[in-house]
Amino acid sequence: MITKGAIYLANLGTKAQNDIGKIRPVCIFQNRMLNRAIDTGAYQEAIIIPLSTQLLGGDYRLKIAKRERLEHDSELFCNGLRMISVERIFFAQGALTQLTPLEIKAVEQILYDLLGCSL
């Protein structure tokens, strides 16, 4: 079962201009309903946040320390939020790691600010 905050390797393709490309870790960041739809084959795309080993900091990045199968300290590049085909995610290799509940809350706050949401 795919879970929100799971980090997998994915092929983001050839880098074009300032886009993030290549095979790199990505964080699945969508709700349980969409994750179940992927598990059942009803949905073929996932909302992901790419990771980068270039530790630049800033308002839209969150540092994730290396752990388990995530080999390097990295940052979630939250303003790189995108949707990709699940065929590009290496699910068969298993998750590299999982965000903690506190990290998930931090990403949610970053995305809230990034998207200019208000209550």
Domain ranges of the chain: 6-114
Residues 81 and 110: their CA atoms lie apart, in Å, by 11
Mean pLDDT of 85-96: 96
Token pair 């994730």: residue: 64
Nearest to 90 by CA among 37, 29, 28: 28
Q: What is the share, in percent, of the chain residues with pLDDT greater than 90? A: 84
pLDDT, one tens digit per residue, over 4-43 is: 999 999 999 876 656 677 899 999 999 999 999 998 989 8
Mean pLDDT of 104-119: 92
Position 82, amino acid: R
Residues 68 and 65: their CA atoms lie apart, in Å, by 10
Nearest to 86 by CA among 16, 37, 18: 37
Q: What CATH architecture does domain 6-114 belong to?
A: Roll (2.30)
Residues 42 and 55: their CA atoms lie apart, in Å, by 36
Q: Tell me the CA distances in angstroms from 17 to 7, 14, 63, 85, one per residue in order.
A: 25, 10, 24, 21
Mean pLDDT of 51-56: 95
Residues 66 and 113: their CA atoms lie apart, in Å, by 26
Mean pLDDT of 113-118: 90
Cβ atoms < 10 Å from Cβ of 13: 13
